[in-house]
Chain A
Amino acid sequence: NAGVMQNPRHLVRRRGQEARLRCSPMKGHSHVYWYRQLPEEGLKFMVYLQKENIIDESGMPKERFSAEFPKEGPSILRIQQVVRGDSAAYFCASSPPFGTGVNTGELFFGEGSRLTVL
């Protein structure tokens, strides 16, 4: 059973370019979360999605950032017009559906995508 898959593992962009980060949750998991880890800081929640729905995006910067989890395919975190301050590790996590007796509130994290903005 494959874990949470993220790609690319490393991404380098110049200021003003777009960054797209992809995440495939664990098999059977219907909830996807994106977290950002800035240098010298803890992980910060960005957004929580279910298939075709954004449930909570209160941690997302108001501009340039967007996320989606389409019916088919991976979840995508998109950053437009990147700036140096966007350089960070972006982690995706997934969890099983709630109310099934399987979900205990635990998150399963991918290995992260490390974005460097030059």
Chain B
Amino acid sequence: TQLLEQSPQFLSIQEGENLTVYCNSSSVFSSLQWYRQEPGEGPVLLVTVVTGGEVKKLKRLTFQFGDARKDSSLHITAAQPGDTGLYLCAGADRGSTLGRLYFGRGTQLTVWP
């Protein structure tokens, strides 16, 4: 079983602050995806990282894939209330069925105005 540990589990910050959430595993993944899920909704894909050491930016969000492809981080600059949600990381294992993702439990982010 591929395990992805996300930290912190909960994060509550004020608007304008910066934050970083982490996704760690002892397993190597062929790719890693970050999703955001809002209450009562399904997860929505934010980004996919494939290459070890890869950094991708999406406006105020910066995603990094570890060199060994075992971990990833999401950094948000100047957080806004609209960033509130559950952030999930999900890894794809090269040896597993395509589309079979291993999800972490998520980081619940709350940004207060």
Q: Is the CB of A105 within 8 A of B48?
A: yes
Residue A44 at the B interface, CB < 8 A? Answer: yes
Known contacts being A42-B105, A42-B106, A95-B99, is A105 close to B92, with CB within 8 Å? yes
Residues of A within 8 A of B105 (CB): 40-42
- Range of interface residues on B (Cβ < 8 Å): 20 to 34
Q: How far is the CA of A45 from the CA of B98 in the complex (A)?
A: 12
Q: Do B42 and A109 touch across chains, with their CB atoms under 8 A apart?
A: yes
| Min CB–CB distance A61 → chain B (angstroms) | 16
Assess the A108–B48 pair: CB atoms within 8 A. no
Look across to chain A and name the residue whose beta carbon is closest to the beta carbon of B43.
A109
Name A residues whose Cβ lies closer than 8 Å to a Cβ of B.
4, 31, 33, 35, 40-45, 48, 55-56, 58-59, 91, 93, 95, 98, 103-112
